[in-house]
Structures are given as C-alpha cells and as structure tokens.
Amino acid sequence: MIEFLARWFDARLGAAKFTRKVMNHVFPDHWSFMLGEIALYSFVVLVMTGVFLAVFYQGSSVPVIYHGAYRPLRGVRMSAAYHSVLHLSFSIPAGLLFRQMHHWAADIFIAAIFAHLARIYFTAAYRKPRELNWLIGLTMLLLALANGFFGYSLCDDVLSGAGLRVGYAILLSVPVVGPWLAFLVFGGTSPNPATLPRMFVWHIFFIPAALAFLILAHLGIIWRQMHTNYPGAGGGEKLIVGSRFWPVYTMKSLALFFGVFAGIAALGGWVQIDPVWVYGPYNPIGIVPGAQPDWYLGWVEGAMRLFPGVNGHVGRWLIPELFFPGFLFPALVFAFLYCYPFLEQWLCFDFRGHNVLRRPWEMPWATALGCAGLAFVLVLEIAGGDDVIAVAMGSSVIVVRRVLRVLAIVAPLITGWIIHRWCEAMRRKHAHLREALAGADAGYSEAEIAPQPQPR
C-alpha cells in the first residue's frame, strides 16, 4: 500500500528524486549550529499554545465585573480583556498551563535568538554570501521583540498598562513626528480602548505571519547556500563534513524539538510567570515595585534608568530626555547590527565569499568589540531591575544606580581589553602551532568518527 502510494506520487511529481536529494543533504555536526533550532522550536510551541489562547482571549476594553473562580478578585471591575485572561487561567482546563507555556516560550525564543545572533557574530558567519540571512535574522529579532511587547500588553493588567504607557511615552518623545507616531500605534492617547484590539491583530496575525514567512526564507537560504563549517572539522570552503538530513540529522533535530517542548512545558507547569491576578486590572496609579518589562526589553529599560535627566535643545525645540535612551539608543544598536557585515567588508577590504567560519580569536578587535557590547547590555539589563536588586540587597536604589552608571562605562572597556589580550594570546599560540606543523595539515582532527564528505 505504502509502496503503491509512493509510486503514485513519484509518477506525478518526481518525488523520489527530490526526496533522495533532500535526504542526502549534509549538515555539519556542531552544537552551536543548533541554537537557531532552539528558537525555531520555541516558535512552534508559541504558535501551538497561541492558537489555544486566541480562542479564549478577547481584545476588548469594555468594562465588566468579575464573578469567576478567583476569590480575591470577585466583584472587581475590569476590562473584558483582563477578564478573559483570568477566565482562561482559572476556568479553562489547562488554560493556565498554556498561558504560562506561551510566556515562557516567548522568553526562551528570544533568548535562543540572542544566543544564535552572538554565535553568528563571534564566528563571522554573516560574511558573504550570508549577509541576506543576517538581515533577515535581525528583522526576525525585531519582530519578536515587538510581538513580545504586544503579548505582554494584551493581558491588560497593571504591568501591561504600565508597559504600554512607557511605550507611548517613548514614541511621543521622538522629535517632530512623535505625536503622529504614537497616534498611529495606539489609536489615540494612552490608555485608549482602540489600543488592545489593534495590538491583538498585530500580535496574532501580522507579526506571526511575517515571522513564519521570514523563517521559511531564512531556512530556504541556508538550504540553498552551502552551510558554514568550522575550520578543522574535516571540511573546507567547498566541502561539508557532517550528517545526512535523513536519518541522523532529522533524529537529532527531532530530539531537540522534544527537549525544547519538554523544557517549556515543565516551566509552564511548575514555575509561575506573569501572575496577572496579583497585579490586578490596569489602573494608572496601581503601579508596583518589581514592575519591569520582560528580559528582552530590560536593557532598554535599564538605559532609561541610567541615562541622566538631561533634555536636549535644538533651537526652540525640545528633545525630551527619554528620546535618547528609549528610542535613539536601541535604534542605533540595530542600525549598527544591520550595517555590521558591510562595515566589516569595507574596513577589511574583504569581498570574497566565506564558507569556513572564523574562530573568535582570529579577529581580536571584532571579538573584543562584541564582548564589550555584551558587557554593556548586561549592565543595562541589571540596571533594568535595579529596584529589585536594591531591595534584595537591603540597599538603596540610588547607590545601586550610581554603581551601575560607573559600571556601564568601565565594564565594557575592561571586558574589551581582557578579551583582546586573550585573542592575541590565542593567535600567537596558533601561529606557533602552525609553524610547528609547517608543511603538514594545520587543521585539528576533532572528528573521531570518519564523516561522509559531500562534494558540491
């Protein structure tokens, strides 16, 4: 029967040849090539849980009175959106599990994208011919950040409303176009009944669709181009050494999918995330200590906390303080990342294609710059939670903030210097090795099992 079906399709689509080609596609074996897959599978979990949540969620600001299962909120007036979140958390079987899985998956999704981005940067996988995928990947990161923010806002609890208010203020602070920009996104001032429905549409439709399309493009380009490989893994500029798509790679990837699903489900079931019922329905004066954005926007929050309260003036016009850390800084970070491959090509005058990755120490300034950037973002991330840290340490938030202001300048410099020295040392060590192995193959035979070479 199966054979009959296979022949039926083969006769009409030429499926056998195609399948054989797909099954024989070779992927290199290295754990760092699977970071993007963790993100991919988190996205799968996000879509699966998100569809469930979308069935019960109502993106509406109509006021209603709660009479549901959660005793301390009975009789409380709230928006229909917040009501539906409470209802799906407390009265729908497994609703809370799905909601928590969705939120954990979002946090892990962006963490995996971040780690993947760092891997690409430090191994210079963005070089020609992969600039396109670098741009697509960054765009997906931006879309993921936006969708995380929208999802956080949809619950319409105190944290959601506070986050929306901060986002509204940041948009307002943009010179000249600020008010129009804020009106475009929020449909009026904030809070505003038009905001939730349009964010819901963006959150469940436009952005996931764009992400899905870009993921397909991302994977298609990876498939079309030769995969990168590490120096010394047995391959080279024209040769990949690794496992075939079927069966080894498929099984490995499937196992990773189950691992990601299990990890997210375990967190969703055992660890609470965003307990909206303790924050209460949105009320502008109900803001609480410990109210932060999710971690992936914590660095912007930290920048806003550390930046000194200085307004800019251009002629008669005021540029509010918030604009610099809240809008300009993240915009510059992304602009720099978008331009980076082209910047490096131009600086190093290297317009060749590269299929073999660069080990981090081979370009000390690039690695040092990347690590200094990571240190800066880490300090900002910590600053985003400075109030929680101050209370946990029994210290004053003013002292914590002063220390972090100094660290924001010192930590990147020290990190960059140390990493640069480490890279130079590694470079010297490998130069010695190369001399010692002069004439012989300078590669390192890390592969223990004889891999299958695939010429292309």
Partner 1 sequence: MKSWAAWGRILFVLLAWAGVGWSQTAAKSAEAVALFSRHCAVCHGEAGQGESAVIRMAGPSLQAVHNPGLVMLAMETGPSHMPRFETILTVPQMRMIARFVTRRLAVIPLTGESLGRGGNLYRVNCASCHGAVTQGGTLGFAGLNAPALRRKPMALVAGAIRWGPGPMPRFSAAELPARDVASIAEYVRYLRRPSHPGGAALHWNGPVPEGAVAWAMALSLMVFAIWLEKGGRG
Contact residues for partner 1, defined by CB under 8 A? 29-31, 34-35, 37-38, 71-76, 89-90, 96, 100, 104, 107-108, 111-112, 115, 158-159, 252, 255-256, 259-260, 263-264, 267, 269-275, 278-280, 283, 285-296, 298, 381, 384-385, 387-388, 390-392, 394, 396-399
Are residues 277 and 86 in contact, defined by beta-carbon separation less than 8 angstroms? Answer: yes
Residue with tokens 């910047």: 343
Give the sheet arrangement for strand 26-28, strand by strand.
26-28, 239-244, 452-455
- Judged by beta carbon, residue 69 or residue 212, the one nearer partner 1 is 69
DSSP letter string over 377-420? HHHHHHHHTHHHHHHHTT--HHHHHHHHHHHHHHHHHHHHHHHH
- C-alpha to C-alpha distance for 454 and 244, rounded to whole angstroms: 9
In the complex, the smallest distance separating the C-beta of residue 320 from partner 1, rounded to whole angstroms, is 20
Indicate the burial class of 341 (C-beta count within 10 angstroms; 0-12, 13-18, 19 or more).
buried
The three-class DSSP label of residue 48 is helix
In the complex, the smallest distance separating the C-beta of residue 387 from partner 1, rounded to whole angstroms, is 4
CA of 353: how far to CAs of 153, 344, 357, in Å? 43, 13, 11
- Judged by beta carbon, residue 156 or residue 294, the one nearer partner 1 is 294
- Judged by beta carbon, residue 15 or residue 118, the one nearer partner 1 is 118
In the complex, the smallest distance separating the C-beta of residue 71 from partner 1, rounded to whole angstroms, is 6
In the complex, the smallest distance separating the C-beta of residue 240 from partner 1, rounded to whole angstroms, is 15
In the complex, the smallest distance separating the C-beta of residue 347 from partner 1, rounded to whole angstroms, is 31
In the complex, the smallest distance separating the C-beta of residue 278 from partner 1, rounded to whole angstroms, is 5
- Judged by beta carbon, residue 34 or residue 174, the one nearer partner 1 is 34
The three-class DSSP label of residue 178 is helix
Give the CA count within 13 Å in the CB-facing half-sphere of 296. Answer: 25
- Judged by beta carbon, residue 232 or residue 280, the one nearer partner 1 is 280
In the complex, the smallest distance separating the C-beta of residue 440 from partner 1, rounded to whole angstroms, is 27
- Judged by beta carbon, residue 90 or residue 246, the one nearer partner 1 is 90
Cβ-based neighbour number of residue 205 at 10 Å: 11
Are residues 156 and 81 in contact, defined by beta-carbon separation less than 8 angstroms? Answer: yes
- Judged by beta carbon, residue 136 or residue 389, the one nearer partner 1 is 389
DSSP β-ladder status, 26-28 and 452-455: unpaired
